[in-house]
Amino acid sequence: MEDTDKRPFGFWTATALVVGGMIGAGIFVQPAQLAPFGWTGMLAWFVAVPAATLIAYVLSKLTAARPGSTGIIEIVGDALGPIPGVLVGWSYWVGIISANAIIALTAVRYLAEFVPVLTATPLATALAATALISALTLLNLGGARGAGRFQVLTTVLKLLPLAAVVLIVAGLAFSDPASFTRHAQVPFDGGQFTTALTLAFFPLVGFECASLAAERVRNPARNVLRATLFGTALTGVLYIVICNGIVLAMPPGEVAASDAPVALFVQNFWGRGAGLAVAAFAAISAIGCLNGWVLMQGEVPLGMARAGLLPTFIARTSARDVPTLAILVSTVLGSVLILCGALPGLTGVLTFMLQLTTAATVWLYVGATLAALRLGVVRGPALIGLLAAGWVLWGSGMEPLLLSIGLMLTAVPLYWLRPRTAAVSG
């Protein structure tokens, strides 16, 4: 019988990990990012969601084949060697830092519905986002208990603005279906499809959460697979309805120009008060998501250090078992990324960070599908998943792709500095 203290997560908790990891800030900014692509952006969802579900299936089957592992990063290291394991884990950490920058900027955009001065200039926006990350860093440095309580509260509230959009879209579908054809959309452009696919893939990132936390899930061979597939498919369908519904039902130019497209959509149909309420819940959702990923930005390098893949100084923790150094370094790097974007303009740097986050995170999927091929686990789906992950990587653009590789390689000197006597977990 499994120890429920060591494996406290059942199917529904594992599903909540997947859904909670996917639903953060991405969907609240994605309609504005994809609206300029018209039909190309809308069709991108119908490739991105099945691709994410397929990769999620591979990760789940890989976890089921190694139920005693701590998670997918360890499995990649076992299958491909410690260096690939380090590179994949480090790249994922880079993706978390970049994602936190995006989430903080998105939260500030929605808060600006109430305090417009927050986005009066790109510098003001950057400073506000940096202050938000710093505040949540302080919360996490106080220990996991307080951060966990805050996370529970914000998780309960994050679904409310999305439910409002779904209700409006469903109402229009029944009462006024012609509203979805009133506004001219940019025709499909195959040359733009890869870029649109990459942008659509970003809010789907997070389906790997149950696989990463497999050591905490009861009967992982069964529950990780079921929770990952169910959570990914459910969230993917929700995103298709929300993003495409907003883009179709409103003038694309208005959506693309909006700092808070979800709030704008609800306000357009239910009035200013409802729009402000959605903006408030969207900001809460983004802040809650940021709180969780601030925690993760310390836990990923901490786990790698404890596995002997990184120097032991990274594994140092406070009296409350908080990886202080890892969290502080991550916050500083994320803040620098935000502040650097204040000069060229928020919209451009936000798109770049979306692409960088996708590129840095997708390396985990590349490593996992390669590991599945090496271990002989669902090789057919793994090959298709590898091709899909490679397509998304290419679509992120040469600059984000090269930057993600460069940032990934910074882990190699740290790997060489690890204790030679440390044994890699597994």
Return the DSSP state at 35.
G
d(CA 417, CA 411): 10
d(CA 32, CA 149): 32
Question: For 247-368, where are the E strands, in sequence order?
Answer: none
Spell out the domain ranges in the chain: 11-416
Cα end-to-end span (Å), the chain: 22
Instruction: Identify which of 228-232, 237-241, 413-417 has the greatest average pLDDT.
Output: 237-241
pLDDT in tens, 195-206: 899 888 888 887
Residue 422 has pLDDT above 50, yes or no: no
- Per CATH, domain 11-416 is 1.20.1740.10: yes
Query: What does each C-alpha distance from 17 to 21, 25, 128, 132, 289 come to in angstroms?
Result: 6, 16, 28, 23, 12
Q: Tell me, rounded to whole angstroms, the distance of Cα 260 from its chain centroid.
A: 19
Pair 58, 382: CB distance under 8 Å = yes
pLDDT band of residue 332 (cuts 50, 70, 90) is very high
Structure tokens of 361? 């995170």
d(CA 223, CA 333): 35
Q: What is the largest CA-CA distance in the chain?
A: 69
Query: What does each C-alpha distance from 159 to 27, 28, 166, 216, 234 come to in angstroms?
Result: 11, 11, 11, 25, 13
Residue 237 has pLDDT above 80, yes or no: yes
Residue 103 has pLDDT above 70, yes or no: yes
Residue 212 has pLDDT above 70, yes or no: no
Contacts of 43 (CB under 8 A, 6+ apart): 188, 193, 196
Pair 17, 218: CB distance under 8 Å = no
Residue 420 has pLDDT above 70, yes or no: no
d(CA 120, CA 107): 15
pTM for the complete prediction? 0.78
Q: At what angle do helices 220-249 and 11-22 cross, to 10 degrees?
A: 40
